[in-house]
Chain A
Amino acid sequence: SAVISQKPSRDICQRGTSLTIQCQVDSQVTMMFWYRQQPGQSLTLIATANQGSEATYESGFVIDKFPISRPNLTFSTLTVSNMSPEDSSIYLCSVGEGNQPQHFGDGTRLSIL
């Protein structure tokens, strides 16, 4: 199964700032996914990132707030922009193709002061 590394593992940020989270996979994958897990909640898909095209965002998430890059088949970044305390969550990237299991990174725990 794919090994997924996320950086940073955690951060504490000031409101109004932005943070970019990196996701590196040890093999080439077509699709990468970004999820958010708010405190005490389950996971919600933010967007799907394909290499060479713009990310596809789920309802309630917009590119201006969560810009995503996918420069190649092993790497993606998610930026959380103009952060507020409501953005305090765990952000996770995952990979999975077709009917294969999805695998997740360890996540980035983000706290906004």
Chain B
Amino acid sequence: KQEVTQIPAALSVPEGENLVLNCSFTDSAIYNLQWFRQDPGKGLTSLLLIQSSQREQTSGRLNASLDKSSGRSTLYIAASQPGDSATYLCAVHTGANNLFFGTGTRLTVIP
């Protein structure tokens, strides 16, 4: 069974810093990997989707990379802002239309 791990569980940084969130998965047979953010008491907002054949995707200040063979993905956030404070979740799609989620990294950006 696919297992997804996110490190660190929580991260606190001052505004303006660049930061990296990590995601690892045990089974490299994935269709794609998706990063989400979740604000307290809210649903999930899709940030980036990387197909299994891709190495990275970029959207604004966000860059996600994928190394399928080693079972790793990173989400890079440039010039962090207080509005980036949220929980970030990665999820791998195994082709059975099921997403396996990590437990998330809770990010706090201090003004």
Contacts and interface: CB of A to CB of B under 8 A. Distances in A.
Contact of B98 (A4, A41, A45): A45
Name the residue among B91, B97, B104 with the largest chain A CB count within 10 angstroms: B97
Contact of A41 (B45, B51, B103): B103
A84 interface: no
A99 B51 contact: yes
A53 interface: no
| Interface range on chain B (Cβ under 8 Å from partner) | 20 to 34
Interface in A74-100: 90, 92, 94, 96, 99-100
B60 interface: no
Given A33-B97, A42-B102, A101 B49 contact: yes
Interface residues of A, number: 26
A107 B97 contact: no
Contact of A107 (B42, B91, B98, B101): B42
A101 B44 contact: no
B9 to A, nearest CB: 10
Contacts of B101: 42-44
Contacts of A15: none
A73 B31 CA distance: 24
B43 interface: yes
A68 to B, nearest CB: 15
A7 interface: no
Interface in A1-58: 1, 4, 6, 31, 33, 41-45, 48, 58
Interface of B: 31-32, 34, 36, 41-46, 49, 51, 89, 91, 93, 97-99, 101-104
Interface of A: 1, 4, 6, 31, 33, 41-45, 48, 58, 90, 92, 94, 96, 99-107, 109
Closest 3 CB pairs of A and B: A106-B43, A104-B44, A42-B101
